[in-house]
Amino acid sequence: MYLVTLLGNGVLILVTILDSRLHKPMYFFLRNLSFLDICYTTSSVSLVLDGFLAPQKTISFSTCAVQMFLSFAMAGTECVLLGMMAFDRYVAICNPLRHPVVMSKAAYVPMAASSWAIGGGASLVHTSLAIQLPLCGDNIINHFTCGILAALKLACADISINVISMGVTNVIFLGVPVLFISASYVFIIATILRIPSAEGRKKAFSTCSAHLTVVIIFYGTLFFMYGKTKSKDPWG
């Protein structure tokens, strides 16, 4: 499955680079998502595979910190990128004549770069706060990756600052993009429904299919995984 992930994302990146017809904002964002998926999967699955082969199932503190940073950074970046993609689809469908100007290369490249910077910056803050906490007990992480929430369970100090900062960040990275995406699609659907021909409506909606698919898979998996975990243990 790991090889399939690498191959699928690698092919998508290669195709969107080589095919000049795909040199558009949406495919540029999809290329970023594919690269992000490769980084996120490699940061977690590589250690899982190593755990299957190694007789001792341990992870060093520094490796755990790197994995915490990468997993949070990739998730945060994807949340922001999906919001950027929703804006691109909104302009493309609701203001098609202005789309080439509003979503020019000078605009969408900095948008993607800022998504990476925001996700990486937030992850650096939370990882720095987490690794400063004293640990106690058996230091056993009951999770398949070394996530920040799983690591906080091992702390022997007051983690109220971590909890508050994580709550604020979750609102910013989960709540705000979801609201923005939802609002964008309200306008998009309203615009599509005003198109007189069925063929025109189908063509307009098909341009959103890639983005909608990514949004449903990403947020559906995220809410299922953490919602199910929190129902059993509030700390994941």
Q: Could you give the domains of the chain?
A: 2-232 (1.20.1070.10)
Per the listing, tokens 């906490």 go with: 133
Q: How far apart (Å, rounded) are the C-alpha atoms in residues 49 and 144?
A: 11
Within its chain, how far is the Cα of 79 from the centroid? 5
Beta bridge partners of 135: 155
Per-residue confidence (pLDDT) for residue 138, from 0 to 100: 74
Tokens 């970023």, residue?
Answer: 32
- C-beta of residue 5 within 8 angstroms of C-beta of residue 12: no
Write down the pLDDT at residue 225: 65
What are the tokens at 203?
């063509």
Tell me the CA distances in angstroms from 21 to 47, 81, 145, one per residue in order. Answer: 38, 22, 39
Q: What is the pLDDT along the chain (236 residues), one digit of tens a residue?
A: 889 989 999 999 999 999 888 888 989 998 999 999 999 888 888 777 777 777 767 778 888 888 889 989 998 999 999 999 999 999 999 998 999 999 999 999 999 999 999 999 999 999 998 888 888 777 777 777 787 888 888 888 888 888 899 889 888 888 888 899 999 999 999 998 888 888 888 888 888 887 888 888 888 777 776 655 454 554 44
Please give the Cα distance from 87 to 111 (Å, whole number). 11
What gap in Å lies between CA 114 and CA 137, rounded to an integer?
Answer: 39
